[in-house]
Structure 1
């Protein structure tokens, strides 16, 4: 299994990360001829609400064996940025969970990747995290 990363409106790099589907597919086809159809084609879809139409349009005519879904940023900051460490988890985590909830409804995917991405920088213990679980479950 190999996956390409697809993330739009990245607030850090200020560019869209859009895989070249044709080139990727040709590479997978070539590898499958060489290795007997053992290589699967996947994509990690970085969700952001402001780009949902572009995300859906990009995926519409493409075939993947596996679709991973993730939320890396909110258009203003990446959740792993150093600046997030200084923010209030009681504000950031509910915002992240709201994005997660929307992403899971809007985008059809097989796997949700790295659930903890939006709050990893806070280093919460299980006990500390428990106060937020009802907001998502």
Structure 2
């Protein structure tokens, strides 16, 4: 199905250290025979980010922001799966679709209960075509180290 997808690469070294990387994959719709329209930017996309990116401890607030691009409608929701078993959350975004609008990005705060590597997935569906845009984020929650 046409859309913008995020594929995951997991790397584990000989000492058991783990890291992830992501690659965006665009699947374009089949060109129509009666159209010479350029479709290179016709897929919807989603952009997501989080803060802080380092030294996150269990229970600490993590701020996530996201928005869609190249969606035909204004507004919409980004669907978050935080990778920790918590329910998926819908976050409104693109309230103002202007490129640099202050309210273009939707915002949510999440708290991870345990240390670990979490893969967050953010999806947005084009209601008109059903095409999906996805992005992954790697969130590392560090254990709390108590000092004597």
- Determine if the TM-score, normalized by the shorter chain, exceeds 0.5: no
TM-score, L = length of structure 2 = 0.26
The structure having more radius of gyration, on CA atoms, is 2
Pick the structure with more helix per residue: 1
